[in-house]
Amino acid sequence: MSKKYIALKSGSAFRQWFALMLIALLAGCSSAPTSTSRYELTHDTGPDEHFDESKIKALNPIYEPPSAGGNKSPYEVWGKRYYVLPTAKGYVAEGIASWYGKKFHGYKTANGEVYDMYQLSAAHKSLPLPSYAEVTNLENGRKILVRINDRGPFHADRIIDLSYAAAVRLDVTTKGTARVKIEVIDPSTWKGGMSDQVNKLTPPVRVQVIALSQRASAERVKSDLTMKTKLPITIVSETVRSNLLHKVQIGPVWSRTSLQKLINDLANSGYGHPIILPMTQVK
């Protein structure tokens, strides 16, 4: 066999090997992940199955203190800085609403809750979380009450992102967007009204006013509160992370109206950050 033939054969083998390596490399690149998104779906959509609109539960707002998460100000998204309003009181705005659904369903919202597209909720760029607002579709007159517990939409031409359920109620899902009016409501003065069945709290709740390291301080708070409410007041002592805390709790409270009045009275007396505990969670 000539040296020339051997050289030609070796060159052919090298070209075949190089071609195979190139194909393998391209295949590897095509299967590499192209997105770092935490969401399983690439595009948003509504539910796959038929949705029964009659199962949407109306909201009956009560006072809620600002959540620990979701109220950082300023915060930045896509290189743009946003500021959270110091208060939601008196907020009114008109603009374009959009909605979000299945892509985000089951994932955490900005304030740490799990997004449920079948609840009447919404996302807003600057209102404190949580807030309650009445949203009116200015194109058809429909209106609903939503609980704002998320951030968004981060598009210059939109002012609110509605949950799928809220969008269904306002008839926004087909078109995708609609011009709306947003009016924040004050739970203590809201005149929406509620039935006796809805007004009832099941299970009842207790309101934890404060947790103190000194028993004597807790007793003084209890004494002060007896002048402000006729509801039972207890001190629950519990060790939390190696620290003994004395929790001053009021209740049980059996209705939403009683709960709202109690929270308002506490706020007026300087106890502005109570924790609402279902009786099943009280310790």
Three-class DSSP category at 42:
coil
Cβ atoms 149, 109 nearer than 8 A? yes
C-alpha span between 205 and 253 (Å, rounded): 5
Q: Residue by residue, what is the 3-state secondary structure of 112-157?
A: CCECCCCCCEEECCCCCCCEEEEEEECCCCCEEEEEEEECCCCCCC
**What is the predicted pLDDT for the residue at 60?**
80
Average pLDDT over residues 22-32: 37
Q: Would you state the structure tokens that stand for residue 84, as one six-digit string?
A: 């959270």
Does residue 116 register a pLDDT over 50? yes
pTM above 0.75, yes or no: no
What's the CATH superfamily of 196-281? Sporulation related repeat (3.30.70.1070)
Cβ atoms 168, 141 nearer than 8 A? no
Three-class DSSP category at 54:
helix
**What is the predicted pLDDT for the residue at 6?**
43
- Which percentage of the chain shows pLDDT scores above 90? 48
Residues 6+ apart with CB under 8 A from 270: none
pLDDT range class, residue 39, cuts 50, 70, 90: low
Residues of the chain with CATH 2.40.40.10: 53-184
**What is the predicted pLDDT for the residue at 98?**
96
Residue 214: is it exposed, middle or buried by C-beta count within 10 angstroms (0-12/13-18/19+)? exposed
Q: What is the pLDDT of residues 183-237, one digit of tens each?
A: 999 887 776 655 555 567 778 889 999 999 999 999 999 999 999 898 999 999 9
C-alpha span between 264 and 207 (Å, rounded): 12
**What is the predicted pLDDT for the residue at 36?**
47
For the domain bounded by 53-184, which CATH number is listed? 2.40.40.10
Does residue 62 register a pLDDT over 90? no
C-alpha 113, offset from chain centre? 5
Sign of the dihedral through C-alpha 56, 61, 67, 69: positive
Residues of the chain with CATH 3.30.70.1070: 196-281
Q: What is the pLDDT of residues 131-147, one digit of tens each?
A: 999 999 999 999 999 99
